[in-house]
Chains A and B, each alone.
Chain A
Amino acid sequence: MKRPLLFVLAAVSLFLASQILSPPVFAQEIQGLRVHDTPGDGGESVTLEWEGGPSAFVTIMRSESRGGPFEEVGSTFGADGLYQDYVEAGIAYYYQISYQLGDEGYLTAQVGPAVARSNWFRSYRVNALILACLMFGLVIFYINAAKRGKDLYIRRIAGISAIDEAVGRATEMGKKIMYIPGIMSISDIQTIASLSILSHVAKQTAIYGADIEVPNKDPLTYTAARETVKQAYMEAGRPDQFREDMVTYITYDQFAYAAAVSGKMVRERPATNFLIGYFFAESLILAETGQSTGAIQIAGTAAPTQLPFFVTTCDYTLMGEELYAASAYLSREPILLGSIKAQDIAKAIIIITVAVGLVEYFFGSSVIKDFLVSR
């Protein structure tokens, strides 16, 4: 009994002595200043970290040699405990922090050297890496499954199914088809999706002998659209029916383009309008003008702000991912269908993750939420 009691008394005494003998740590004093290369960057910066710090601005001072001279390079709020200094890579830097506590000035001890170096991985993006690998993996898995002959179901997309009907209508009426591939450049994924649909539409017009016009706002899209239509006519076995004036460049200005195309719609009264691609404010001008001329209209965009306008003015609207699925839907190629399946599985995984994260958050944990946040 005596021995444990003695042990406890000794421990308590030692603790009390440490509190008396060690210097008093005021919460506002900067403690534990350290500097290191900022992780996950391209060698642009070093990071200072410390504990404590005043509730006021502190001055960061830097030197390229131990002992100085130090120059002021920035300031930050003392209680933040963190400062990122943008420096030249490969050079050793030393740091001190000067600050005020009441009337007294303080200067921390020097820390360093720290050298900014290029890193090979942004560790804070590991969540995006996992999702990217998952997406790639799913696409490759389902493409291979499709190649092995697995039957992949894709639901009916009304807008795409109506393409043939729309082209047939234009042929019967003896009027042209107008295809507007959006206003963004070929670098935008929606424009590429639009061109894949244009290829099918142009092939149908070649087969039926209808006329098509493709006015463009972007010069790069214009050159790609011209090649697409030309190739479509060649594949349909009607290269002689292709004319250079089928695909035209109008202007780079958004509303001048809308005015020109609206004017064409009113004067030439096409039987069918396709508005497929990335649109901005001109979407309603084009769609409403087309609606007023009595044309059948098939629209498609992944721009959420323009979808309502297309839904109210067009007969069929491809919404969001339906636009991207169009090429797979039209060709029915197993490889393309495989990628659509992969996309659906990825969406299911995201839905489940969000649902689980929501439940977890309600129970006071935020592991999934914190993991999903990215920079």
Chain B
Amino acid sequence: MRRTIPLALTFIIGLYPIFAFFVPHARITYANDWLDEALVIVAAFALPLGTVNVIMTNTSKLKKKAKGWPYSIVLLCGLAIMAFYGLIGGTGVHPSFQWMFVNMVSPLQATMFALLSFYVASAAYRAFRARNIEATILLIAAIIVMLGRIPFGDMVTGGRMTPLSEWIMSIPNAAAQRGIIIGAALGAASMSIRIILGIERTYLGTGKD
């Protein structure tokens, strides 16, 4: 029963959207729309689950005075304050919540994103080596695209770098992206069929009967 019910549900609910993709009848799409909404609601209810885990883990750290316990205080205070102002704001946005978001959350997120520029530099330095022919082609293409994305490229080559860069992005790159997308889509379709038919069960936490 523990496995049968989830598998049966997976089969029915997995096939239904496929069926609704081809059948536009109002009775069918109504149920499909309901399923879409249900997924959103289930996901929203899962959020408290994760929040409870965060609170329990950090409270436990505090009690045991485990390594890094002062940071748990910071985390729990931040969680409480943001949740408080978010809730009293209702369906709108409380000014304090907005202030904290704009002046604390937003710059922190932007800072983390900005780290990528440093990591890209070190990864590029390590990865772009002309070890063989394919690596050399990759290296040359990368330099052309990098130069094509900045004004220097056109200044040095008399306006040729941007069209060349655009050609690399539009033709070889687009072709490769399409190949990967098609392959990944087929893989996803195959995996989805396995899940719907109950052949693939590892997501249930069980590998075998």
Chain A interface residues toward B at CB < 8 A: 40-43, 89, 118-122, 125, 128-129, 132, 135-136, 139, 143, 185-187, 189-190, 192-193, 195-196, 199, 203, 216, 218-220, 222-224, 227-228, 230-232, 235, 245, 248-256, 258-259, 281-282, 284-285, 288, 302, 304, 307, 309, 311-313, 319-325, 327, 331, 335-336, 339-340, 342-343, 346-347, 350
Contacts and interface: CB of A to CB of B under 8 A. Distances in A.
B46 interface: yes
Contact of A125 (B21, B181, B188): B21
A320 B22 contact: no
Interface residues of B, number: 62
A189 B192 CA distance: 7
A132 B27 CA distance: 23
By DSSP majority rule, is chain A's interface helix, strand, loop, or mixed? helix
19 contacts: A118-B24, A121-B23, A121-B24, A122-B22, A122-B24, A135-B190, A189-B195, A192-B191, A192-B203, A218-B50, A219-B49, A219-B53, A220-B42, A222-B49, A231-B205, A248-B57, A281-B116, A339-B191, A339-B194
B170 interface: no
Given A42-B24, A288-B123, A346-B186, 7 more contacts: A222-B49, A249-B54, A252-B50, A281-B113, A284-B119, A313-B127, A339-B193
B24 A227 contact: no
A220 B116 contact: no
B150 interface: no
A302 B122 contact: no
A193 B191 CA distance: 8
Nearest to A231: B205
B152 to A, nearest CB: 23
Contacts of A227: 204-205
B25 A222 contact: no
B94 to A, nearest CB: 19
A192 B195 contact: yes
Contacts of A249: 49-50, 53-54, 57
A199 B207 contact: yes
A336 B203 CA distance: 15
